[in-house]
Amino acid sequence: MEKKWWHDKFVYQIYPKSFKDDNNDGIGDIKGIISKLDYLHDLGVDILWLTPFFTSPMVDNGYDIADYCDINPLFGTMEDMEMLISEAKKREIYIMMDMVANHCSSEHRWFKEAIKSKDNPYHDYFIFRDEPVHPEHKSCFGGEAWEYVESLNQYYFHEFAKEQPDLNFDNPKIMEEIENAINFWMKKGIRGIRFDVIHMIGKEIDNGIYGYGPKLHKRVQELYRTSYGNYDIITVGEAWGNLNDALDFTLPERNELNMVFQFECTSSTNDNQRHGKFTPKPIDMKYCKDTWIKYQNGLNSKSWNALFVENHDLGRCINRFGSLDYMKESAKAIATMIYFQKGTPYIYQGQEIGMLNIRMDSLSDYNDVEVHGAYKDYVLGLKDITHEDFMEACYKEARDNARTPFQWENSINAGFNLGTKPWLKINPNYTFVNALDELKDPNSILNYYKELIKLRKNPLYKDTFVYGTFTALDIDNKDIFLYKREYNHQTIIILVNMMDKKIPYTIPFEIDKVLLKNYNKEYDTKEILLSPYEAIVYLVK
């Protein structure tokens, strides 16, 4: 495998609206990110993935873009962004942007022109029909996927909110516009791209194909050829699919993407026989283990993995994969289990301090357009879910769980700003879950993350963690995740108790030394009683 500069890097995802509010207006901003670059450098991360910072009315918090080549005034100015790129680079940190190619905002000048007349050249930038096609297909954010425009006597298609009209990739001008936007930011010094719902740009609406259409990969390959493929950057796609889909995107000879996110584990708590995340079901850790193994075995000899358990669209990983009773232990176990696999690690803001889901008091506390659309569909419309059950589902799965302001310290508004009401409620647990207190505690989740990152980058072991083979052991064990990484005669074993119970275990290898552990215990025998969520990284003789 050809070695790339980003293979040994850690990516840290920032949700700018919630990271740090420098000007005290209640909304995070670019200057706030700049003010925390030393924190991020000290943590050990190398690449900052910023969710969309472009001009937007913020119906979907920036994923409704009104100008692909300008900065949302809520976040700052172009000069601020240029300063961020420059200041990050001084700390050997690079910026990854979030490109939304599937749709834009209804406030974009393209759409404003498109609805003026059918003859307007921008009309064909979008998907208009005289009548809804396949009207049984609903919007991901609730309600219909077709919106009527009275002045045109036509409907336009929107996979997400009605304020997010889908772009028409059958029109070559759209490809040109997206290519121009990417090239604009590449020349600004951006070193990475995360592509939002990239699997949807091959849709064929008239044929009822909304993802993975026959022209998808040809279009991604064209984007690569005419824009980002001409720069030495890192790319990752949000591409809901399966292992074969991931291979199609990531095989190097296809010239598409470096890696994709797989959501088979993180979405496995969604009951898709009912209403997905709004009818959640318990986690099955054996299924998750099997899925992680499947992607390790399926991708690693040919392409590359993205290693993650949290992002801006998911509930917090402790709530999903761990335990509130063993908060510190399970947070450390999850990180150990995931980030020593082969691939590029992605950490979501707040994950490194153990931020948790938030229990909102009322529906109005939620900002997310998806929550309010689902409430109208399932509670008010179909009456399939009670208000109480819906609120409990939101506590477990709603996207706003990951969007509450970062908890910097035990002070007013958790140190997010100087006191102005934040755009979204702050989790009241900031009094004991915050970065400042954890920096002072040698046994904190934050300091464990720093140890983990330092170990993965240690020159003595880095090649094994980055390029070593992955082999799962004790595969049928539903409680234990055991795997080894091997490279040039060096073997490292990762052992994790995935459960909230003690488990006796016999170590099936000769131990040289312990490289990392999340319990303060000595390991001088092969017979061990694993504590709940115990995680150990061994160097093997």
Catalytic residues: 196, 238
Distance, in Å, from the CA atom of 476 to the CA atom of 498, rounded to the nearest integer, reads: 13
Phi/psi class of residue 533: alpha, beta or left (left: φ > 0; alpha: ψ in -120 to 50)?
left
CB-based contacts of 484: which residues, under 8 Å, 6+ apart? Answer: 470, 471, 473, 491, 492, 493, 494, 509, 540
Contact 222, 211 (CB under 8 A): no
Specify the DSSP element, H or E, that contains 537.
Answer: strand 535-540
Alpha helices in 227-274 (DSSP H): 243-250
Position 224: which residue type?
Y
Q: Of 235, 233, 238, give the one whose Cα is nearest residue 188.
A: 233
Beta carbons within 8 Å of 38's beta carbon, 6+ residues apart: 91
Q: Could you please report the per-residue DSSP string of 143-196?
A: SBSEEEETTTTEEEE-SS-TTSPBB-TTSHHHHHHHHHHHHHHHHHT--EEEEE
Return the closest-CA partner of residue 345 out of 303, 304, 293, 404: 304
Residues 6+ apart with CB under 8 A from 348: 12, 13, 308, 310, 311, 312, 402
Q: How big is the CA angle at 378 (ends 372 and 381), to the nearest 5 degrees?
A: 95
Asked if 307 and 346 touch (Cβ cutoff 8 Å), the reply is yes
Q: What one-letter code names the amino acid at 529?
A: L
Q: What's the burial of 459, exposed, middle or buried (CB within 10 Å: 0-12/13-18/19+)?
A: exposed
Calpha distance 328→531 (Å, rounded): 13
